[in-house]
Amino acid sequence: MTNRTVVLRWVLAGPVAMAVAFVVMAAMPLWFPEGAAGIDHLILPLILFPAIWAAAFFYACLAENLGRAGVILSGLLLVNGAAAGWAVWGGP
């Protein structure tokens, strides 16, 4: 394992996994069903936040193909970040 691979894995498992968990949680109210009381899309993202982080963290740690993991995590980060950012700053 090269030093570059180790650094990339640390970056993906550290700041990237945390950022992915945050933006996925932030974007969930935009697509998650509201449910019978109209609150599921507000509370379930908060409850699932540690699970989203754990999934991103262990995926980054255990992926054999680190390049693919980088693309998938970056994609999640960009798509969800853009959706949440649009809702906060760019919406009507």
Partner 1 sequence: MITLSQDRIKRLVAIHGWSGAVLGLLLYVVLLTGAVAVFAFEIGTWSASGKKSQTPFAQPFDGTLRTLAAQVPADYHEDIGVFANSAGHIVAFLHSHQTNAAGDPDEKGVLFELHPLTHDVLARRQGFQSEVFGADPWGALDEFLVDLHVNLHLPDPWGLYATGVLGLLMLASAISGILIHRHLITDLFLSPRRSSRLLTARDRHNLAGSWALPFAVVLAFTGAFLSFALALGLPTMGKVAFGGDQMAFFDRLVGAREAGDPTPMPLADLDAMLATSAEAAGTMPTGFSVHHWGRADATVTIFHLPAEGDLTAAQQVFEGATGAYLGPKPALGTRPSIGSAAFDLIPPLHFGTFAGLLSRGVWFALGLAACYVTLTGLRLWLRRRAADPPWRRLARAVPVVGYGLPIAMAGSGIGFFLGLPAERTLSWTPAGFLIAAAIAIAAGLAVRDGRTLARAYRLALGVAFVALPLLRMAVGGTGWGQLAADGNLPVIAFDLCLAVAGAGFAWAATGRLGARPVPQPGPAE
Contact footprint for partner 1 (CB under 8 A): 22, 25-27, 29-30, 35-47, 49-51, 53-54, 57-58, 61-62, 64, 84, 87-88, 91
DSSP assignment of 47-91, as one string?
HHHHHHHHHHHHHHHH-S-HHHHHHHHHHHHHHHHHHHHIIIII-
How many Cβ atoms sit within 10 Å of the Cβ of residue 11? Answer: 14
Q: How far is the CB of 19 from partner 1 (least distance, A)?
A: 12
Tell me how far apart the alpha carbons of residues 18 and 32 are, in angstroms, rounded to a whole number. Answer: 20
Closest approach of partner 1 to the CB of residue 54, in Å: 6
User: Which CB, 76 or 84, lies closer to partner 1?
Assistant: 84
Q: How far is the CB of 71 from partner 1 (least distance, A)?
A: 20
